Every structure is written in C-alpha cells, then in structure tokens.
Amino acid sequence: MSELEQRCAEAGLKMTGQRRVILKVLDDSQDHPSVEEVYDRAKKIDSSISIATVYRTLSLLDELDLVMRHEFQEGYSRYEVNVDHHHHLVDLETGKVIEFQNEELEKLKAKIARDLGYELIDHRLELYGKKIKKD
Amino acid sequence: MSELEQRCAEAGLKMTGQRRVILKVLDDSQDHPSVEEVYDRAKKIDSSISIATVYRTLSLLDELDLVMRHEFQEGYSRYEVNVDHHHHLVDLETGKVIEFQNEELEKLKAKIARDLGYELIDHRLELYGKKIKKD
DNA sequence: GTAGCTGCAAACTCTTTGCAACTCT
DNA sequence: AGAGTTGCAAAGAGTTTGCAGCTAC
C-alpha cells in the first residue's frame, strides 16, 4: 500500500478502484500534471474512469493536503504530490517547471508580512524565465 | 486628456465613448477591480456599455501594458492600472489587497533565477496573511 | 469611406453538481 | 445495510467570439 493510499485510509476515504488508479498515477508523477493529464494517464490503466471522478478526487486530496494545487498563468490547475516546501521557475520557452528552495527567501517573506502587520499564512512565488545560452 | 487616453491614442486605438468611460473608471480606481467591477462602475456612467467591450478593452490594455492583469486564487482576473513594480499581500479575512515593494527581494529573485541558469523574465509573488491583533 | 469598434447572443473552457446506480466496509 | 462513490449529462462561472450594424478618423 502506497503512502498516499495509507493516508487516504487514515482520512476515512473508501479505497475504490478509481481512487487507487488516480493515486498510482500521482505516485508515478515526477511532474505537475493538469487534471486532463491525470485523467489521460488514469484512462490508460482503467479506461472507464470519468473526468468528474478525477476532479472530485483531486479536490479531496487537495483538501487533505496530500497534493498541492497550482494555478500557473495558464487558465487551469495543475497538481503535484505534496512534497517539501519549494517554489517554481517556469521555463517560458518549454513550459518546463523547475523546483527550487531558498532559505533566505523564506525568511524575507515572513519578515515582509510581519512588517506590514500580518501573520503569513500562505504565499505564492513563481519565476518565469528563459534559459541563458552560453555561446 | 488623461495619460491613459494619451497612450491609447499613441497605440493607434480609436477613442470611442465606451473606451473613454472604461479608462476613466480605471483612472479613478485605487484598487484592483475585477472585470465585473469595472463593468459595474462603467455602467454607472454609461448604462448601455456591454461586458464584452469591457473584456475586450481590458485585454487590449493589458497587451499594451497599460494595465496589469492579476489572477489571485479566486477564479477570475483583477486589473490594476500599471504603476510601479510592486507585490501584493492579500488579507485572507477581508480580501483587501496591500501593495509592497522590497529591494532585497528583487535582488534575491534575480539571483535565484541566474543561479538556475535562467534569465528572469517575469515573476509573481503574492503573500496571503491574517492581520496580527495586538490585544 | 472604411477599418475598427460595439452589443448581443452563442460558444468555449474549465470545473462543479444532481441523480440514479453501484460498491466498499 | 448504508454511507460513500461513480458515470453521465447538465449546469455553472468566467471568458471569448461571429456577426451585423455603427462610429471615429
């Protein structure tokens, strides 16, 4: 039983065939798939699965904090399995998403919020860039 | 003639009554109105204006970089008149948007991208927080 | 005069939902 | 058995678009 599956069970979710398939797809993902992409990958395993179920399952998993929903500036959501805290740099030429962490940045964000009189609850930082070519 | 109007003229846009109304609404906005809000404010000046025109005009202005489109995590877009570079802190309890700038942050972002081998083209930073209450 | 702009309504995309049938536990 | 889950299709929200008429230049 995968860790995702385990944590779903702990949350009291019924482990249906469809959910098992979606969890496997997520477990196997090293990227940040859209709902449509999760759906396509799931269909390869069980072609009878419906996109409504994918939407419902991803929403549930997001609520349980087992996955993280992102809305890059594309008009739809992407999901990723909830790993360590990090941010994203989106390659504007290829759409590739690169993850990074930066401790200094974390401190700075919290400080900025505090200075404005706020407790930082959540945030979003995305960089969009082009690869530097060394000729 | 407002500065926005001037810059639209320079861009070769025809100055119709509807556009003048929308530009005035934007000029008078100190906040970050949604399309619906711009539409409502515009209708108070000219009730015959259509929401399609508001969408079309805001898209145009965004392309010309006269306004900036934001997608906070709300499921729709908000616009603001394109002023100095800054970021936003969204008050999670009231929805209020607070603007801030931070030079240190700017440098850090560019450095992170550079270290990853990227030239920073664009970025997005939003903080979401709750007001700290001093009891 | 004409290219560009408008209002209207229909269409589109992404997402959610009501419902009857089905299935884990 | 019963609550939770599913597929389907319809509905929703936000946004875009085709078209015929209108308007700034």
Q: Are residues B63 and B96 in the same domain?
A: no
The last residue of one of the domains, among A41, A60, A81, is A81
Find chain A residues with C-beta within 8 A of B124's C-beta.
73, 124-126, 128
Count of Cβ atoms closer than 10 Å to residue A68 Cβ: 15
B-chain CB neighbours of A71 within 8 Å are: 71, 73
Shared domain for A11 and A54, answered yes or no, is yes
Distance of A35 CA from C4 C1′ (whole Å): 39
A107–B contact, CB cutoff 8 A: no
Give the CA-to-C1' distance from A32 to C12 in angstroms: 25
Its pTM stands at 0.77
Contact B116 A100 (CB under 8 A): yes
A114 vs chain B: nearest CA distance in angstroms? 8
The CATH number linked to B92 is 3.30.1490.190
Q: Does any domain span residue B95?
A: yes
pLDDT at A82: 66
**Domains identified in chain B, total number:** 2
Report the C-alpha gap between A42 and A48 in whole angstroms: 9
Q: What is the DSSP string of B7-21?
A: HHHHTT----HHHHH
Helix H or strand E segment including B97: strand B97-100
Please judge whether B118 and A100 are an interchain contact, meaning their C-beta atoms are less than 8 angstroms apart.
no
Q: Residue B135: inside a domain, yes or no? A: no
**Do residue A19 and residue A61 come from a single domain?**
yes
| Contact status of B96 with chain A (Cβ, < 8 Å) | no
Instruction: Examine the domain organization and report whether B18 and B32 are in the same domain.
Output: yes
Q: Are B7 and B73 found together in one domain?
A: yes
CA of B68 to C1' of C5 (A): 22
- C-alpha B55/C-alpha B77 separation (Å) is 10
Residue after which a domain boundary falls, among A81, A97, A119: A81
- B118–A131 CB contact, under 8 Å: yes
SS (H, E, C) chain A: CCHHHHHHHHCCCCCCHHHHHHHHHHHHCCCCCEHHHHHHHHHHHCCCCCHHHHHHHHHHHHHCCCEEEECCCCCCCEEEECCCCCEEEEECCCCCEEEECCHHHHHHHHHHHHHCCEEEEEEEEEEEEEECCCC
Question: What pLDDT, on a 0 to 100 scale, did the predictor assign at position A26?
Answer: 94
Per-residue pLDDT of chain B (135 residues; tens, 9 = 90+): 788 888 999 899 999 999 999 999 999 998 899 999 999 999 999 999 999 999 999 999 999 989 999 888 788 999 988 677 788 888 887 778 888 888 888 888 888 999 999 988 888 888 888 888 766
Tokens matching residue A34: 């859209």
One domain for residues B59 and B20: yes
Weakly modelled stretches of chain A, pLDDT under 70: 1, 82, 134-135
Query: What is the 8-class DSSP label of residue B34?
Result: B
- Is A112 in contact with B120 (Cβ distance < 8 A)? no
A23 and A77 both lie in a single domain: yes
DSSP class of B6: H
- Does some domain include residue A134? no
Side-chain-side CA neighbours of residue B5 (13 Å)? 14
Residue A75 sits in the same domain as residue A108: no
B134 falls within a domain: no
Single residue among B41, B65, B81 that ends a domain in this structure: B81
On whether both B73 and B15 belong to a single domain, the answer is yes
Task: Report the CATH number that the domain containing residue A28 is assigned in CATH.
Answer: 1.10.10.10
Q: What pLDDT does residue A37 have?
A: 95
User: Helix, strand, coil proportions of chain B in percent (round to 5)?
Assistant: 40, 25, 35
CB A128 to CB B122 under 8 A?
yes
Nearest CA in chain B to A110: B127
Looking at the fold, whether B12 and B73 belong to one and the same domain comes out as: yes
- Scanning every residue of chain B, which has its alpha carbon at the shortest distance from the alpha carbon of A104? B108
A9 close contact with B: CB closer than 8 A: no
The domain containing residue B11 runs over which residues?
3-81
The verdict on A69 and A97 lying in the same domain is no
In a domain, A95, yes or no: yes
Residue A135's pLDDT is what?
62
* Residue at A135 is within a domain: no
Tell me, what DSSP letter sits at residue B127? E
Same-domain pairing of A25 and A72: yes
Instruction: With respect to residue A67, please indicate whether it lies within any of the assigned structural domains.
Output: yes
Domain presence at residue B40: yes
CA distance A12 to chain B (A): 28
Within an 8 Å CB–CB cutoff, is residue B119 touching chain A? yes
CB A25 within 8 A of CB A41: yes
